[in-house]
Amino acid sequence: MKNIYLLFIIIMGLFPHFIFALDFCDDKNIGKAAVYANGRVKPFLVHAYDRMMLISDDKKEVIKNGVKNYCELSFGDKERFLGEIRLKIYHNEIKEALGLEKQRKIEYISIAKFLNQREAIFNLSKQSPDKRLIETLNAYMEKVTVIEKILSGQDFKIFVDNQWAYPFENNNIDQIKNVLLNERNHLTPKVYFEYLNSISRPFFVSIIILLLGAIIFVVGKSKGIVIFASLMSLTIQLLLMIIRGYVADRIPFSNMYETVMLAGFIANVLGIIFYFKWKEKFILITGLLLNIFTLFMLEFSTGMLDASINPLMPVLKNNFWLGVHVFTVMISYAAFGLSWFLSNIFIVRDIFKEREPGITGKFSNIISDTLRFGVVFLSAGILTGGMWADFAWGRFWGWDPKEVWSLIVLLVYMIILHGRYTNWINKTKFIFITAPAFLSVMMAWFGVNYVLATGLHSYGFSQGGTIFFAIFVGLQLMLSVFHGIKCNYL
């Protein structure tokens, strides 16, 4: 027994980082520490969250133990945590390659077992002709790369002796510990604001505020409560966008996560604006509900929307064109989103209730207003996009998938509006057509990124949204077809 204790002491002496890991990684101050990773300085907490989300795709676990788990993988009892932290495996061919059961939709595998079977992932990626499967396998290989960087101590740098260095690069454990637990060490305003933003969960707070406003509206029919809740939530979201732009040193409109954030914000604003024009409460609640929908995506669809702030590719490093082009396009998408929601409200009412006198004309006029608004801003967005393309790539138009689908969206809505004002499409059919027409927007916005995943707009691509897109399209088509059959339009 004495020999075992002696051996343990010798091992701890050879690997001293095991000694302090048990209490060091539990220290709350470590989250505030400034580290350098992925081309910028950020809080340790944010980097730990990003890395553990990329590895495990389990936001609940990451929020609860992400910093501790990442710290232990970097400095502590690595083998134990490699056995405890699990990865999600969805694809049946990957499950088979890893020797997992295929009965359940999601299977789990420890990081240790996953690393031991990385060769199976590599071989499958070489043999498979399935492009989608290869993309998924590449995502898993990225997890392997990140895990290996973490384990080797090469995943981030700390500021020590007036320079950024990897933790174990000419530093002992005591130096590393002092740097990471000294919250004043290189704690710039940007790092501090990003830290506060991460721990406060502003999207979740906004969801609660808007849901309370919606519930009170349903119970008491008070439009003032909806406006007040919307303004409170919009203020929080605006502050978040300002902080994100300040931290990133750019306008925060560069990826799918940020465009969803912007679209929900604008939809709520437009709901208030159109309410004051038309004096109809359902417009007000429509904007609020659209904002809630996008906030839910931002808060919970973490696999689909990556919240990480990363350096931009060179073509995007132009705040003027980035701001003007994306802002105008997202205004149009938000307006089309309002028209989609309003038309579906009419469809659902038509299925379950008798149509009230004058209701068709009212909905038709309001939806026409939102479509005109959207068409004007989408036209401006296409023009500014072409001007930016000429500035960045030397051509105004190149039939890139994003460009083509934005043009298709414009033509779809121009045809619908033309049909409405020439009586080619009557008021009722105009409302019904507007709902599935929004699928063209979803294709331009999400489909190109998640389904086609090709083109010069590669900076907007990400994984995990194909299922969301398919479900959205399927539900809308089913609702439209069911309504058409019930009302004898099909």
User: H helices within 59-130, ranges in order?
Assistant: 59-75, 78-84, 92-97, 111-116, 118-127
CA 220 – CA 214 distance, rounded (Å): 10
364 and 288 in a common domain: yes
Low-confidence residues in the chain, pLDDT < 50: 1-22, 461
Q: Which residues contact 264 (CB under 8 A, 6 or more apart)?
A: 237, 290, 291, 292, 293, 294, 295, 298, 334
Backbone angles phi, psi at 131, to 5 degrees: -60, -40
Which amino acid type is present at position 490? L
Do residue 448 and residue 319 come from a single domain? yes
Output the pTM of the full model. Answer: 0.87
Instruction: Specify the residue for token string 């105008």.
Output: 328
Among 206, 212, 276, 248, smallest CA distance to 46 is for: 248
Cα gap 309→247, rounded to integer Å = 8
Provide DSSP, 116-141: HTHHHHHHHHHH---HHHHHHHHHHH
Instruction: Assess whether 176 and 214 both reside in one domain.
Output: no
Residue 162 pLDDT: 82
**319 located within any domain:** yes
Q: Where does residue 270 rank: exposed (0-12), middle (13-18), buried (19+ CB within 10 A)?
A: buried
Are the C-beta atoms of 213 and 225 separated by less than 8 Å?
A: yes
Q: Is residue 7 part of a domain?
A: no
Please tell me the predicted confidence (pLDDT) of residue 332.
Answer: 97
Q: What is the pLDDT of residue 15?
A: 40
* pLDDT score for 294: 95
Where in 162-318 does DSSP place strands (E)?
163-165
* Residue 3 maps to a domain: no
- Please indicate, yes or no, whether residues 172 and 204 belong to a single structural domain of this protein: no
Cα(103)–Cα(123) distance, rounded to whole angstroms? Answer: 23
* Domain match, 25 and 65 both: yes
Residue ending a domain, among 182, 213, 240, is 182
Residues 94 and 29 in one domain: yes
- For the chain, what is the domain count? 2
| Shared-domain flag, residues 166 and 146 | yes
Handedness of CA 263, 266, 272, 278 (dihedral sign): negative
Residues 139 and 208 in one domain: no
- Identify whether residues 216 and 282 lie together within a single domain: yes
Q: Of 182, 214, 242, which residue constitutes the final position of a domain? A: 182
Instruction: Kindly state the tokens that stand for 63.
Output: 């929020």
Last-in-domain residue among 127, 149, 182: 182
Q: 202 lies in which domain range?
A: 193-486
Same domain as 212, residue 136: no
- Percent of the chain that is helix, strand, coil (3-state, to 5): 75, 5, 20
User: Are residues 284 and 153 located together in one domain of the fold?
Assistant: no
| Inter-residue contact 93 to 129 (CB < 8 Å) | no
Is residue 9 a part of any domain in this protein?
no
In a domain, 25, yes or no: yes
Burial class (CB in 10 A: 0-12, 13-18, 19+), 407: middle
Q: Judging by beta carbons within 10 Å of its beta carbon (0-12, 13-18, 19+), is residue 236 exposed, middle or buried?
A: middle
Q: Are 377 and 332 in contact (CB under 8 A)?
A: yes
Query: Is residue 188 in some structural domain?
Result: no
Tell whether 482 and 364 lie within a shared domain. yes
Residue 259 lies in a domain: yes
Nearest 5°: phi and psi at 155?
-95, -20
d(CA 275, CA 369): 12
Instruction: Please indicate, yes or no, if residue 373 is contained in any of the structural domains.
Output: yes
What are the angstrom distances between the C-alpha of 102 and each of 107, 229, 247?
A: 8, 46, 43
